[in-house]
Amino acid sequence: MAKKARDNSSSDIFSMLLETSKKEEKKKRAGLLKQLGVKEFFVEGSIRIDSKVCRGLECKLCIDICPTNALYWQRGKVKITEELCIYCGACVLACIVDDCIFIERKRSTGETEKFSKPNEVPKLFNSINGKKRRERVKSIFPRVEAYLERYLLHFS
């Protein structure tokens, strides 16, 4: 029984430490991005680069395009300072190979997006823009009849 209580209390301390380090990481990240004047659009995210797929020596396009300088070249590999990554996807769009840079990100609405191929990025933008357009139209014309009356019916 005493052992169980001890196990529980060490797992509590472990989760507290984990929580604190996460908070500190978030604070450090917010401070760095503020200094750069960069806005965050996602509540969470992760990025991973597969160095076996990367053609870094002949490429390095992702490093050139990254708006926050989160990517850098070290010892023959593309490295990342994750605190500086805002999961914008520009590096995936610029990458010359598929499934090299993997991004997963979460919006404040709870929606998650995952991509690792350059051609997935424009598709994602299109679907986001399409959704925004639909929302805009819906706010102006909550009913389809209102749209038809204004733009179509009076020409007939």
Which positions lie near ligand SF4, rule CB under 6 A? 47, 49, 54-56, 59-62, 66-68, 70-71, 78, 80, 85-91, 94-97, 100-101, 103
CB of residue 24 to ligand SF4, shortest distance in Å: 21
Closer of 32 and 59 to ligand SF4 (Cβ): 59
CB of residue 103 to ligand SF4, shortest distance in Å: 6
Closer of 29 and 147 to ligand SF4 (Cβ): 29
With b meaning 16 or more CB within 10 Å and e meaning fewer, what string describes 106-121? Answer: eeeeeeebebbbbebb
For residue 98, how many other CB atoms are within 10 A of its CB?
13
CA–CA separation, 15 vs 153, rounded Å?
A: 63
Which residues face 132 on adjacent strands?
none
Phi, psi of 23 (to 5 degrees): -65, -45
Closer of 2 and 57 to ligand SF4 (Cβ): 57
User: 149 and 140 in contact (C-beta within 8 Å)?
Assistant: no
For residue 65, how many other CB atoms are within 10 A of its CB?
15
Closer of 87 and 113 to ligand SF4 (Cβ): 87
CB of residue 23 to ligand SF4, shortest distance in Å: 22
CB of residue 123 to ligand SF4, shortest distance in Å: 17
